[in-house]
Amino acid sequence: MRNGANSMAHDFHKSVMPAEDKVPLMGYPVDELMTTLSGNRLVSLIQLKGVSPETRSDEELIRLCETRNRYFLALGKKEGKNLLVHTYTTKTGIELDTQYTLPLPALQDFVDAYTEPFRNGTFYQVGYSIALILKYREVDEGIERMSDLLSLSSTLLAEYDPVIMGLEENEHGALFSQIGRYYSLLINGHEKDVLVSDTRLGDAIIDSVTNFENYDFVENRPNRGGQRFATTFDL
């Protein structure tokens, strides 16, 4: 019975759920803050700072939650079924390679003890991000509508210190995609610089093999680092 169920699940996913539907391939930047997706869609990515509940009163936490809820309602009223919202919570290790040398032994001991978690991989930073995925008919009108959504996001999420991911230029004039770097972290388990070129960003970020064949979990094997798994749910 189990084998039969697995076979049915495999056939179901193979016939109606191709991998690109689960992880749509990014195309090319059409604006500093926007990248195309397959299926006439644009994606923009917003990173937020978290709020420590220990440092805020209950009243302030409730107000912040209500502000966030109003933001999602505003997005829905503005774009409705044309907009897809993905939210991400990440936990990444912080590595410190710099050596600090101080003249006083007491200060040196303090600095060594303080920085030790950053050196042995036991310190993790939690990050929060929102991806806005907008369906369009013409690219120009899609860019204009996405710009309105990003302006709305910057205003309503101001207390979360939003940062909209875009493009960055190195000292040699090469452009790199911050959105590509972030999705590299999600898909590969580590960040990598993603050059803007004639290669689709969706192809440029891949540094792992992901298997969607199983019904209730996804297997990911990065080219560096250990094997990873994700649980899937039918809604």
With 0-12 CB in 10 A as exposed, 13-18 as middle and 19+ as buried, what is 227? exposed
Could you read off the pLDDT of 39-84 as tens digits, one per residue? 899 999 999 988 888 888 999 999 999 999 999 999 999 999 999 9
Q: What is the pLDDT of residue 182?
A: 93
Q: What is the SS3 string spanning the chain?
A: CHHHHHHHHHHHHHHHCCHHHHCCCEEEEEECCEEEECCCEEEEEEEECCCCHHHCCHHHHHHHHHHHHHHHHHHHHHHHHHEEEEEEEEEEECCCCCCCCCCCHHHHHHHHHHHHHHHCCCCEEEEEEEEEEEECCCHHHHHHHHHHHHHHHHHHCHHHCCEECCEEECCCCCEEEHHHHHHHHHHHCCCCCCECCCCCHHHHCCCEEEECCCCCEEEEEECCCCCEEEECCCC
Q: pLDDT exceeding 90 applies to what percent of the chain?
A: 46
Q: What is the pLDDT of residue 37?
A: 92
Q: How large is the average pLDDT for residues 24-30? A: 87
β-bridge mates for residue 195, sequence order: 176
Q: How large is the average pLDDT for residues 137-163? A: 96
Q: Could you tell me the pTM of the whole model?
A: 0.77
Q: What is the pLDDT of residue 13?
A: 45
Whole-number Cα distances in Å, 183 to 74, 91, 94, 131, 177: 26, 14, 18, 11, 10
Q: What is the pLDDT of residue 9?
A: 47
Categorize the per-residue pLDDT at 234 as very low, low, confident or very high, splitting at 50, 70 and 90: low
Whole-number Cα distances in Å, 73 to 46, 80, 108: 17, 10, 52
Q: pLDDT exceeding 70 applies to what percent of the chain?
A: 86
β-bridge mates for residue 135, sequence order: 41
Categorize the per-residue pLDDT at 11 as very low, low, confident or very high, splitting at 50, 70 and 90: low
Q: What is the pLDDT of residue 197?
A: 92
Could you read off the pLDDT of 76-112 as tens digits, one per residue? 999 999 999 999 998 877 777 778 888 888 888 898 8
Categorize the per-residue pLDDT at 178 as very low, low, confident or very high, splitting at 50, 70 and 90: very high
Task: Identify the sign of the CA torsion 148, 130, 170, 35.
Answer: negative
- Which has more pLDDT, 70 or 221? 70
